[in-house]
Structures are given as C-alpha cells and as structure tokens.
C-alpha cells in the first residue's frame, strides 16, 4: 500500500496559521475546515509563535512567508549575479 503524503506550499501554511493566530480560532476548528491534520497545523502555529514570540510586533504569517520567499529569491539572484561577474572576468581574460 502506497502512502501519498500531501505537500503544502508555504503560502498555504501561512494562510492556515493566520486563521489561527489572528482569527483567535482553535486549531482543531481551522484544521477541520481546511481538511488537514490538527497536529500539522499545530506544528506550523507552534513554529510561527517560536519565531515571533512578541505577538504585537510579529508580522502577519502571510507577510512573514512572503518576506522569507523574497529573501530566498534575493539570495539566489545575488549568487547568480556573482557567478556571472566571475564568468565575465574569466572570458575577458581569455580574449586577451
């Protein structure tokens, strides 16, 4: 018997956490509505709260996920830029 694990996007997780954190609704209720496991949602909420211990200064879960995605993209683009600079310097040396 093959078990297919469901994979959730970071945006989906952030939306689910936001329903719990900002909506003041129980994890069990939100999990039932979204048809996901309570323990998964509970883990996502716990992780968010550990990363943002002060609820008044914490960004919304959706914003936090968006910021993380943009930071990862920024790192990737910086690495690509550094590689292209090195490649341009290499080919400039080869032309001489």
Helices (H) and strands (E) in the chain, counts: 4, 0
Residues in the chain, total: 96
Report the predicted TM-score, pTM, of the whole model to 2 decimal places.
0.61
The pLDDT of residue 31 is above 60? yes
Q: What is the 3-state secondary structure (H, E, C) of 73-93?
A: HHHHHHHHHHHHHHHHHHHHH
- Across the range 13-40, mean pLDDT stands at 91
Would you state the pLDDT for residue 82?
95
Q: What percent of the chain has pLDDT over 70?
A: 96
Burial of 8 (0-12, 13-18, 19+ CB in 10 A): middle
The pLDDT of residue 2 is above 60? no
Would you state the pLDDT for residue 16?
92
Please give the span between the terminal C-alpha atoms of the chain, in angstroms, as a whole number.
63
């Amino acid at each position: 018997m093959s078990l297919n694990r469901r994979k959730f996007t970071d945006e989906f997780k952030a939306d689910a956490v936001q329903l719990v954190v900002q909506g003041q609704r129980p994890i069990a209720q939100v999990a039932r509505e979204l048809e996901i496991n309570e323990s998964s949602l509970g883990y996502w909420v716990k992780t968010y709260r550990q990363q943002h211990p002060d609820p008044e200064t914490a960004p919304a879960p959706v914003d936090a996920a968006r910021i993380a995605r943009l930071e990862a993209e920024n790192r990737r683009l910086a690495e690509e830029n550094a590689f292209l600079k090195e490649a341009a310097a290499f080919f400039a040396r080869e032309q001489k």
